[in-house]
A and B are shown apart, each in its own frame.
Chain A
Amino acid sequence: MTTLLSIPMMLFVHDLRAACRYPGDMLASVMFFVMITTLVPLGLGPDQALLAQIAPAIIWIAVMLASLPQMDRLYTREARDGVLEQMLVSPAPMPLLMLAKALAAWVIIILPLILSAPVLAVMLGLSINGLLAIVAFLGLGGLCLVLIGSMAAGLTLGSRRSGVFIALIVLPLAMPVLIFGVMATTAVLTGGDAIGHLMLLAALTLILLVLAPPVSAAAIRFAEE
């Protein structure tokens, strides 16, 4: 019974350890994120009111785009070196192992982006309230993104142009995340009621938490056959 949780926990820790040995990957996506967000004010001009109005949408879209290249590499290394094969012959249920990997991916891919959001919020003229809201909502929305990404990475495993396919699978599925995320953030900024949108975002996260691990497990089992 103990292996039910101890093996996924062990995998989570090893994934974080592996990511720490390559901080460059994390840094690259943070730089990409900062770059996208910087380009918008440069292109639009110094209109603070306009920037503050579209800031939530810019940050959400930038997070989606900056995390995509990392989603592409979610399982490629493990497929190549044979770790996926050993995961499939593990006594632990494969969906739980996939969940552990998705949670590790959240820490590795999404968390650095969230931590760099405050700098950008200042640049885009966001208030403290808006900043706190965007960090909290990005945390939740980011979990949705990695769960969708884990499904897409599993489904495209072994295909040659996985990068393009991943974008084609992730972006449409992530549209509800973007819509509710931006609406909730905007509601906080304009003093409106964010609870409704936040509830929908939370519901989406719960659905994906249940749905994504078995789907990516099945996809990987099929790819490794």
Chain B
Amino acid sequence: MMGATQSYELGFMTAPRLIIRDLTISRGGYPLITGLNAQLEQGQVMLLRGPNGCGKTTLLRGLAGLIPQDHGDFAINGISAASDHANMMRQLVLIGHRNANAESLDAYHALAMTAGLAGLAPSADHIMMALETFAMAGLAKRQISHLSAGQQRRLALARLALFTAEPHRLWLMDEPFNALDDDAASTLNHLLNHHLESGGAAVISGHGAMPITANQTLHLDQLKGQTQSGKKEDRS
């Protein structure tokens, strides 16, 4: 397993985890992200900050290939969506605003499903270990709809513990610290640090105080200038 991962890594040794070139993404006809240039190396974190509706989620979803860009380009580990869509999806993990826990399953199977969709095939022990990371092992058989908001968020984040063998994946996380208690936040921080020490990288959105030291911070509202007020109206 480790050998395979390492040889996989070698090919991308020189490529930065993320390169964004002149990226413009629009929502509802208004450009939210305009002419963005950025680069993220191994072991680095990029924080996305700004008020509601400034484009944090749009940028994250754009980087996950969910929203097409108007122009410009980006590549994760040197792979762009245009060149090899399936391969680019293997270069990222998306923790979206929605938790992606299948409502009609129990916690164990919901985690197995999201991991499976990402191309992993974790063993039962591995899944239980991931649940235990966020103190969810006791709730493995509990149905998703019977979990609290914070527990559902912890379950979504427990997915990250299954990706430790694939540190080349760029973590795209939309406000991951929301609805988390202190213990869960420090667990997430621990997982993130481990990911970064293994050569991984992450793009994280949020506002307020976050227990992360960022290598780069993008203030999205300052990037765009005058069209901002029009966009806010569009989003509300």
Q: List residues of A whose CB falls within 8 A of some B CB.
A: 3, 6-7, 10-11, 14, 17-19, 21-22, 77-78, 80-83, 85-93, 224-225
CB distance from B171 to the nearest CB of A (A): 12
Closest to B93 in A: A89
Cα of A28 to Cα of B114 in the assembled complex, Å: 29
Which residues of the other chain, B, contact A19 by a CB distance below 8 angstroms?
104
A92 touches B119 (CB 8 A): yes
Q: Is B67 engaged at the interface, CB distance under 8 Å to the other chain?
A: yes
Which residues of the other chain, B, contact A7 by a CB distance below 8 angstroms?
116-117, 119
Known interface pairs A82-B98, A224-B66. Does A92 touch B104 (Cβ–Cβ under 8 Å)? no
Closest to B101 in A: A81
Known interface pairs A21-B143, A89-B65. Does A3 touch B94 (Cβ–Cβ under 8 Å)? no
B66 touches A91 (CB 8 A): no
B100 touches A83 (CB 8 A): yes
Query: How many B residues, CB 8 Å from partner?
Result: 32
Given A88-B65, A89-B65, A90-B119, 17 further pairs, Cβ under 8 A: A7-B119, A10-B113, A14-B105, A14-B109, A77-B102, A80-B103, A82-B96, A82-B98, A83-B100, A85-B100, A86-B100, A90-B117, A91-B87, A91-B90, A91-B119, A92-B117, A225-B66
A81 touches B98 (CB 8 A): yes
Q: Is B2 engaged at the interface, CB distance under 8 Å to the other chain?
A: no
Which residues of the other chain, A, contact B113 by a CB distance below 8 angstroms?
10-11, 14, 83
Cα of A78 to Cα of B96 in the assembled complex, Å: 14
Chain B 80-101 near chain A by CB (<8 Å), digits 1 or 0: 0000001101101010111111
Cα of A80 to Cα of B114 in the assembled complex, Å: 15
Cα of A80 to Cα of B144 in the assembled complex, Å: 13
CB distance from B17 to the nearest CB of A (A): 17
- In this complex, the member of A6, A80, A81 whose beta carbon has the largest number of chain B beta carbons within 10 angstroms is A81
Q: List residues of B whose CB falls within 8 A of some A CB.
A: 64-68, 86-87, 89-90, 92, 94, 96-105, 109, 112-114, 116-119, 121, 143-144
14 A-B pairs within 8 Å (CB atoms) are namely A6-B121, A18-B102, A19-B104, A77-B102, A78-B102, A83-B100, A83-B114, A85-B94, A89-B64, A89-B94, A90-B89, A91-B90, A92-B119, A225-B68
Closest to B65 in A: A89
A3 touches B119 (CB 8 A): yes
Cα of A65 to Cα of B181 in the assembled complex, Å: 48
CB distance from A72 to the nearest CB of B (A): 16
Cα of A89 to Cα of B143 in the assembled complex, Å: 24
A10 touches B116 (CB 8 A): yes
Known interface pairs A91-B90, A92-B119. Does A85 touch B98 (Cβ–Cβ under 8 Å)? yes
Cα of A224 to Cα of B65 in the assembled complex, Å: 11
Of A11, A18, A77, A224, the contact of B117 (CB 8 Å cutoff): A11
Cα of A113 to Cα of B165 in the assembled complex, Å: 45
Of A11, A77, A90, the contact of B118 (CB 8 Å cutoff): A90
Which residues of the other chain, A, contact B105 by a CB distance below 8 angstroms?
14, 17-18, 21
Which residues of the other chain, A, contact B99 by a CB distance below 8 angstroms?
81-82
Which residues of the other chain, B, contact A11 by a CB distance below 8 angstroms?
113, 116-117
Which residues of the other chain, A, contact B118 by a CB distance below 8 angstroms?
86, 89-91
